[in-house]
Amino acid sequence: MNEKRKSKEQLFQTFARLARALANPHRLELIDLLVQAPRTVEELAREAHMMIANTSQHLQRLKQAHLVTDEREGLFVRYRLADPAVAQLWLELRGVAELQLAEVDRALSAYRPRRHDFEKISIDELFDRMTRDEVVLLDVRPEAEFQAGHLPGAVSIPLDELEQRLEEIPRDKLIITYCRGPYCVFADEALELLEGRGWNVARLEEGVAEWQRAGLILAG
């Protein structure tokens, strides 16, 4: 084997190393969470329903592939995506899976059984209706994610606080909810609660990652 061929194989082995780091459902979920906001190991373990030790091991694999970075904050270590390109890679991977694998739609329907029950609002329609002050855009993600970055004009009421804060939501406007994007159930659960209490509701499927991918600027 000549040297040029060896160099080419080494190049593709490097690409494969990154792909191997991604080839685990738990590590993909951790990336999905880090798209929303930097988090400590403990916070990620809690959100992903994993043991702290397992979460730390998965994060080390992602760090070795230079997909995430970490920084110490006292007794804790906070992780974040190494580059915005990592979020784009995750969106592209999802997009290819949607196109090529029918199982994605079936799994999504099982996870979000009411995803077709609510009106969906496009980004363009959202802009138009917000300009005319006809809607309230509700961010139902955890507060830390809202603080890390949110859609302009959004109001933060985390899902686990929604029922206790219903009096803050006007009755005379369309309530549009969003969360972590199309693979997040928080917005559906918020819509179900609000619709059951008499509000007129709709969902924005896009989250902060899709918003940025469209070339739009986040607030926060």
Q: What pLDDT digit, counting tens, does each position of 22-80 carry?
A: 999 999 999 999 999 999 999 999 999 999 999 999 999 999 999 999 999 888 899 99
Flag whether the pTM goes above 0.75: yes
Per the annotation, the verdict on 179 as an active-site residue is yes
pLDDT band at 5 (very low <50, low <70, confident <90, very high): confident
CB 79 within 8 A of CB 41: yes
Give the separation between CA 187 and CA 159, rounded to whole angstroms: 8
How do residues 75-97 score in pLDDT, each as one tens digit?
A: 889 999 999 999 999 999 999 99
What are residue 36's phi and psi, to 5 degrees? -80, -40
Average pLDDT along the chain? 95
pLDDT of residue 74: 85
pLDDT in tens, 188-202: 999 999 999 999 999
pLDDT at 73: 85
Q: Hey, what domains does the chain have and what are their CATH numbers? A: 3-89 (1.10.10.10), 114-213 (3.40.250.10)
Q: Which residues contact 98 (CB under 8 A, 6 or more apart)?
A: 104, 105
| Secondary structure of 158-192 in HEC code, one letter for each residue | CHHHHHHHHHHCCCCCEEEEECCCCCCCHHHHHHH
- Which residue in 31, 148, 179, 187 is the catalytic one? 179
Q: Which two tokens stand for residue 176?
A: 């549009």
